[in-house]
Amino acid sequence: MDSRISQTDGDEPRWISELKDHDDNSNQELYAVVAEYDTPDALMAACEQVRDAGFKDWDSITPFPVHGIDESMGIKQSILPWIVLGAGLTGGTIGLLLQWWTNAIAYPFIISGKPFFSLPANIPVIFELTILLSAFTAVGAMLALNLLPAFYHPLFRHPRMARYSSDRFAIVIEAKDRLFDREKVEALLKGAGSVGHEVLFAPEKRAPLPKVFHGVGILATLLTLVPLAYIAKARFTKSEDPRIHIIQDMDMQPKFKAQVPNELLGSLWGDARASLLPMEGTIARGEFVEDEALHYGQDESGNWVTSFPVEVDQALLERGRQRFDIYCSVCHGHAGDGNGSVNQRATALARFGGKGMAWAPPANFTDPRIVAQPVGELYNTVANGKNNMKGYAAQIPVEDRWAIVAYVRALQKAQTVPVDSLTDEQRDALGSN
């Protein structure tokens, strides 16, 4: 495979004369001596000699990493692993702090019963960030320590450089080494078994950067400040404009909101609410009352009814007893004497529990005041409550309320009727219990 650059018949290689054409003002100076070797073992042996001779500014060029050449050249171990370790620990710390701060401090929310700061759940991301930062640092630090990218290097002028990235090996000893002496170096390298050598020249000074680059650089730097300026402006000023909202989704819907006054509706109906009140006389389903006495225990004039609007028979009383035992006996007791289990408990608490335990006992139905109440009023008490007692309208349907009232009347009668008014059979029935 021939060298890519063809040789001319001149005293000096063409590329050197070309250089002199272009860089009129720069001087070419000797950069290095390069010697070629054709096997890795030959190269390593030569490297040992160069190392032992005491050179410092030198290197070997190999198309692949040659194992053992680090010792042959006396290359010290790189600090790269320590840099990577630092980066890895940083990555792990960032992962931990990120997850702790975002999930436990800044935006804590309950999810799947996990604690806000769930260390086991945070491990995967901590691990990934450790690896990510370590890996990027390994590559970045390697390039930085190798001073790469470096698109210009005098070695690229070597006519056989292409071979050194393919199948040949070389040693480069730079002229700036304090032990450098051209003849001695060439002799040393030849003696070590090189198959040829070459001298390299390089300009004394690097060509200056064209002025355009300065301008472009300054412009680019200024341009990067523009977005930052916008951000600063946005951060510290207020604006009345609505924010830019590209993807609308279903964010701004053309609808009336329930609790927000709306002018359009106000102008149409006079009521700005989106949820209008029902019209006068609207009756909700299930709320039509045909028989006022049955439903309210009152007649048209608002007086309590004094007779039952339902048929009072044994079945009604049984139903009333059952319902009474469920709903009423806890406070009023099974006999309607006002000493149900709640009363017993509350009285005990009031006696022994201490401060603030005021208890008004439930009514005793044999109280003359209650005996005197018309059934309509009793019905109203069951449905709507009285004093501390809450109404049971929601739990007890209308028919059952009348059943309870009938049973209450029965209880009252049972406890207030004089014994003398009983027949003999009734007295015997009571006595035998």
Q: How far is the CB of 194 from another protein (least distance, A)?
A: 10
- Name which of 148 and 277 has its Cβ closer to another protein: 148
How far apart are the C-alpha atoms of 29 and 176, rounded to whole Å? 11
Q: Which is nearer to another protein, 14 or 273 (CB)?
A: 14
Cβ closest to another protein, residue 87 vs residue 293: 87
User: How many residues would you count in the chain?
Assistant: 433
Which CB, 69 or 410, lies closer to another protein? 69
Q: Could you tell me the smallest distance in angstroms from the CB atom of residue 21 to another protein? A: 19
User: Residue written as tokens 């390299």?
Assistant: 200
CB 66 within 8 A of CB 44: yes
Taking Cα atoms as reference points, which of 147, 159, 148 lies closest to residue 201? 159
Q: Cα–chain-centroid distance for residue 2? A: 62
Cα(first)–Cα(last) distance of the chain, in Å? 128
Residue with tokens 């730097």: 221
Minimum CB–partner distance for residue 188 and another protein (Å): 17
Query: Which CB sits closer to another protein, 241 or 311?
Result: 241
Which residues lie below 8 Å from residue 11, measured CB to CB, with a gap of 6+? Answer: none
CB of 419 to another protein, least distance (A): 59
Q: How far is the CB of 351 from another protein (least distance, A)?
A: 44
Closest separation in Å from C-beta 37 to another protein: 8
Closer by beta carbon to another protein, 141 or else 398: 141
Pair of tokens at residue 432 = 């035998």
Q: Is 317 helix (H, G, I), strand (E, B) or coil?
A: helix
Sign of CA dihedral 246, 251, 256, 259: negative
